[in-house]
Amino acid sequence: MALLCIRIAMILVLFLAFSENYGFLRGVTSLGINYGQVGNNLPQPEKVLDLLSSLKLTKARIYDTNPQILTAFANSNVELIVTVENQMLAVLMDPQQAFQWVSTHIKPYFPATRITGIAVGNEVFTDSDTTLLAYLVPAIVSIHGALAQLGLDSYIHVSTPNSLAVLTESYPPSAGSFKTEVSGVMSQYLQFLSSTKAPFWINAYPYFAYKDKPDEVPLDYVLFNPNSGMIDPHTKLHYDNMLYAQVDAVIFAIARMGFDGIEVGVSETGWPSKGDADEVGAMVDNAAAYNKNILRRQFKNEGTPLRPNMRLEIYLFALFNEDMKPGPTSERNYGLFQPDCTMVYNVGISALSSPSSTSSASISLTSSATKVKT
Query: b/e per residue, 296-308, with b = 16+ CB within 10 A?
Result: ebbbeebbbbbbe
Residue type, 241: N
Q: Which residue of the set 263, 268, 322, 331 is catalytic? A: 268
- The answer to whether residues 292 and 223 touch, using CB atoms and an 8 Å cutoff, is no
Task: Single out the catalytic residue among 123, 279, 313, 331.
Answer: 123
Phi, psi of 264 (to 5 degrees): -115, 125
- 85 part of the active site: no
Residue 370 and residue 374: Cα distance in Å, rounded? Answer: 12
Omega before 111 within 30 of 0, i.e. cis: yes
What CA–CA distance (Å, rounded) separates 60 from 64? 12
E strand segments, 26-78: 31-34, 59-61
279 is annotated as an active-site residue: no
* Burial of 95 from C-beta contacts in 10 A (0-12 / 13-18 / 19+): middle
Residues forming the active site:
123, 268
